[in-house]
Amino acid sequence: MRLVEREFGYRKGSPVMIIRPAEQYDRRYYDAVTGRRYRRRYFIKLDDLWKYSDTHNDLFDSFIANKVLQICQLFNIPAPTGKREFVPLMSSISDTIMDGIDDLVKMAPYQAGHDDQEMVIDRRPASDRPDISVGMMNS
């Protein structure tokens, strides 16, 4: 069973991979300020793909474990604390990301007038966004 799904789009004119919760974790949130409904999403920019490579990132293991925990927190997916339970969860989420890397690299550049460069922007106010650290975990 997949915990997250991916799609592709543009953010500020650059190609991005969008990680969103699978159906069972997909909760729509209501923004009281704007009155809009929104979904939580996690963006991976083309410029940051090197971080998802064990060849180019010396801290890949701790980096990917940290990202999995961030994604779980963002999507309210219960993250197990035991190693046996955490490994399948990490594998499921990281496989979804890794399987989409080639598609992100092959995406056509943003075309003015054709693509909506703001089509995947999360418009929630900063006060409603989760406070998630983006640093790497110490191993």
User: What's the pLDDT score for residue 118?
Assistant: 52
Helices 83-99, 60-75: inter-axial angle, 10-degree rounding: 90
**Residue 105 backbone phi and psi in degrees, to 5:** -65, -35
Mean pLDDT in residue range 28-44: 69
Mean pLDDT of 91-111: 87
Look up the pTM and report it.
0.69
Whether the per-residue pLDDT at 114 is higher than 70: the answer is: no
Output the pLDDT for position 123: 46
